[in-house]
Amino acid sequence: PQDVGILAMEMYFPQRCISEAALEEFDGVPQGKYTIGLGQKYMVFTDDREDINSFALNAVGSLLKKYNIDPKSIGRIDVGTETIIDKAKSVKTVLMQLFEEAGNSDIEGVDNVNACYGSTAAIFNAINWVESSSWDGRNAIVFAGDIAIYAEGSARPAGGAGACAILIGPNAPLVFEPVHGTFMSHTYDFFKPNLSSEYPVVDGPLSISTYLIALDNAYSRYREKYAKRAALANGHTNGVNGHANGANGHAEPKGKPSLSDFDYMVYHSPYGKLVAKSHGRVMYNDFVENPSAPEYSSITPADAEALLAVPREKSYSDKAIEKTFIGLSKSHYAKHVGPSMECAQRCGNMYTASLYGGLASLLSTVEPKTLQGKRIAMFAFGSGCASSYWAVKVKGDTEEIRTKMDLLARLDAMKVVPCEEFVDALKIREKNHNSAPYTPSGSIENLWPGTYYLESIDDKYRRKYAMT
Ligand code: ACO
């Protein structure tokens, strides 16, 4: 199969959100702490009527319906989530209900877990399957989603909720390029060891430095591996990807790529400010590689020398580096990263769905014609930690995806509610986590029409879903 990648996409998010400005007031913190300090506008939440299974049924059910997908045409489903409600039974098996009527029980794949990275592990699995010798000719679906909630404290405004469903197959308009730069290591920056609570144990500052260290390393491996592959492919005419370059996109670089070799960048977004920092960080990496490039001509020789003198391990907390490159990358960010931030601004951190919500935002904000032939850099990160940097090439028309998702109008239609509702919803979840038997008390009125929701949990912890 050729050009394996994304054929279709759908996003799901609950109907209610709160404003981060209102939360600042509600929490009694200084104005700007969440809106400027974290760079967040709104945060989605839900109560006990929704769980990860209902999210999955909503996202995948809607993908099948909107794109008129024959359930028998699916041969694999991979799930990525860190919203765990069962230590053995996968979310994937719950999704099998959507394929039962069509008589399709021959669907490979189960759940992938590692914080926000599970979605990327799932997508890589699905793509690898289509490209493998065990592929049976059918398409794959990836579901990724999370309910991102934190205990009271400084992490709470960095929560959110949302999910995505992605159809994977050959001859796709969005093709995954084959070079992945990956960085994984053993860290205790954000983890969920307490199974009686939905909340993570999080070391905020460590999670930020872990993210940035992962970005440096994944980007650096990506560039090295790309250059190596390009050198090997040099004798051939068709570059790294085995195909000629698109009409108006960036040419495939011959050596180590830099930011200027991509048209757009999508970063996993825990909150907006970290994405701006990350973009500056990538520019800093490019600067270290080639300080005399014209993009850095506004940095004086004395400043350049001082910036280059900072050892890598100290650079993560160096405010001069951060300030210089956030400043220098500001207009580049607005044009090349900003269009991917719509979902993140409205929904907050969707954990595994954040990166793909970013891609969905990009496809919704940039004209499909403009996107043709473009290269999109992707950075996936999950605490603990796992990360990858790679590129997606737009080889076909993305108009259908944009129209069917109808993302911007749906984000706009969300209800902004008082912060009390958010706090009450978290209290209900907290109090009843792991309860059985249990009947949720959240009002069905708070859900979008046609939404799957949790109806009840019986005395054997079996969950039953209904639709509004
Ligand atoms: N106006 C403007 N800016 C402000 C204000 C204000 N009133 N108050 C604080 N700030 C700024 C600070 O100067 C700081 O800026 P900087 O990032 O440029 O240094 C920023 O807001 C954050 O403030 P801090 O006091 O440093 O940190 P805080 O205690 O608010 O915690 C944190 C922030 C660590 C991100 C916390 O929300 C958290 O733990 N979040 C969850 C973990 C997370 O999202 N990690 C990211 C990667 S891992 C993942 O994806 C889950």
Instruction: Given the cut 0.90, state whether the ipTM is greater than it.
Output: yes
**Any idea how long the chain is?**
468
Tokens coding 255: 């050596």
**336 φ, ψ to 5°?**
-105, -20
277 marked ligand binding residue: yes
Tokens coding 426: 């978290």
Residue 29: predicted pLDDT? 98
Residue nearest to atom 3 of ligand 1 (CA): 37
CA of 20 to the centre of ligand 1 (A): 13
- Tell me the three state secondary structure of residue 455: strand
Q: Are 249 and 263 in contact (CB under 8 A)?
A: yes
**pLDDT digit string (tens) for 190-237?**
999 999 999 999 999 999 999 999 999 999 999 999 999 999 887 655
Q: Which domains does the chain have, with CATH numbers?
A: 5-175+409-467 (3.40.47.10), 181-397 (3.40.47.10)
Cα 194 from Cα 231, distance rounded (Å): 48
Mean pLDDT of the chain: 96
Q: Is 116 a catalytic residue?
A: yes
Pairing mode of beta strands 74-80, 463-467 = unpaired
Q: 0.80 cut: is pTM over it?
A: yes
- Tell me the three state secondary structure of residue 416: strand
Q: Is 164 a catalytic residue?
A: no
Under DSSP, the state recorded for 423 is H
Sheet strands (E) in 138-239: 139-148, 160-169, 174-176, 181-184, 190-191, 201-202
Q: Is 455 a catalytic residue?
A: no
Distance of CA 268 to the CA centre of its chain: 5
Q: Could you count the other beta carbons within 10 Å of the beta carbon of residue 209? A: 15
Q: What is the largest CA-CA distance in the chain?
A: 70
Angle subtended at Cα 195 by Cα 194 and Cα 201, rounded to the nearest 5 degrees: 30
**pLDDT digit string (tens) for 88-110?**
999 999 999 999 999 999 999 99
**pLDDT digit string (tens) for 113-125?**
999 999 999 999 9
Confidence of residue 244 (pLDDT cuts 50, 70, 90): very low
Cite the DSSP H helix spans in 234-296. 272-289
| pLDDT at residue 248 tops 60 | no
- Tell me the three state secondary structure of residue 13: coil
Under DSSP, the state recorded for 419 is H
Cα 54 from Cα 468, distance rounded (Å): 12
CA of 319 to the centre of ligand 1 (A): 14
* Residue among 23, 24, 36 whose CB has most ligand 1 atoms within 8 A, to mutate: 36
CA of 37 to the centre of ligand 1 (A): 6
Place of tokens 């004395």: 302
Q: Are 189 and 385 in contact (CB under 8 A)?
A: yes
Write down the catalytic residue from 17, 116, 343, 419.
116
Is the CB of 267 inside a 6 Å radius of any atom of ligand 1?
Answer: no
Pairing mode of beta strands 74-80, 139-148 = parallel
- Torsion angle defined by CA atoms of residues 150, 151, 152 and 155, in that order, rounded to the nearest 10 degrees: -40
